[in-house]
Amino acid sequence: METRRTIVCLCGSTRFKKEFIQANFEETMKGNIVLTVGCFGHADKDVYLLTSEEKRALDKLHLDKIVLSDEVLIIDVNGYIGESTQNELNHARALSKRIRFWSKRG
* CATH (domain of 83): 3.40.50
What mean pLDDT is reported for the chain? Answer: 94
Q: What one-letter code names the amino acid at 29?
A: M
Q: Is residue 14 part of a domain?
A: yes
Q: What is the pLDDT of residue 65?
A: 98
Q: Is residue 1 part of a domain?
A: no
- 37 C-beta neighbours (distance < 10 Å), count: 21
State the residue range of the domain holding 43.
Answer: 7-104
Q: What percent of the chain has pLDDT over 70?
A: 98
User: Which pTM does this prediction carry?
Assistant: 0.93
Highest mean pLDDT among 36-40, 52-56, 80-84, 94-98: 94-98
Total number of domains constituting the chain: 1
